[in-house]
Chain A
């Protein structure tokens, strides 16, 4: 019953995104969309996925959209022609897809083909072979470790891509100008700064809890990395980019991102050197179960490091670019006034 309500609300929000012209409202609606789909995932018993979607879709994604909207402008031009061809294509494709779903097994059927080949082996043998209660983590980190390796490399590549597109050369005199503006604004934001200073240690502690508790409940490297990055992003938003750069260096963050991927790969190579297959954790310690625990711990640590640092790299690049744009605009306005 509740999934019907949630899905209908999702369709309503999606139609509202079509009709809105104000991009700020579109960003907020996409955040609501992410939160509703996270609730839907909880109802569907997918607790790990719901955790990740809430952190990523309703958190980081909305934040990045807002930062870009502040740089590129807030409203959308209305189209002058009617998009009838697009509507026709969409209607035909939708009709064909619905015709295709008529053959599918019904929702919730326990005898569907998807439940009868690999999944029973994972559910039944995961405890003896790997020894952790969370089956999703055991599949992600041990049975399908190679896929997760590919995913970590994809995130790392995205971080490199954003750095290549958006990095700015910083000169030392800019930082002094911006720092003085920041200190003069301190009185205005007193309440938020004090509350944030109280909250940030707890958010970081929660990120560490999620990282290491992924074996026993929902959690793991990705969620922990995103929560860790969001704590630091909160600090950046309130205290300014330069103060945050003094706390955490950009070079250090890039080093941690590369170290995470390297750690992940080295676990695989260590398994090869000990005589097993690539990412076969049984050979990493004397006892196969202890080897599995050690392997999962190390690679989740690598995943957490890389995800946190890449999120920070992406946010720092966007924020630095925005600062440069605003400085150029101020310079331009001052020149106009002088003329």
Chain B
């Protein structure tokens, strides 16, 4: 009886996850080869972080897009891609979770020329992982 109760409790309380239609690997955004490169910069890590690659901003049919090129970074629990006005996450646009996507569209209402950096930031623990200062092409 005790064993059956224990097994039932373990089954009831077992932690698990299973992907659904909205969390399956999504179609990757792409940048058209004809797009115009407007800004670029190499990622620099913060202390204890490994990062490689560049941040590039392309303009495609009136839509700006951040592209992470040849990019890899140390893993983190809640990494976000920020387009920022400084090298710290104080005034920024959150472009979403860092996933296997390499292209992050920028909302059309944004004046991209006001932003000087692309940041990779762990929101949950408020820890900055990497900084890419942008240079105009």
The answer to whether A and B belong to the same complex is: no
Which positions in B face A, CB cutoff 8 Å?
Answer: none
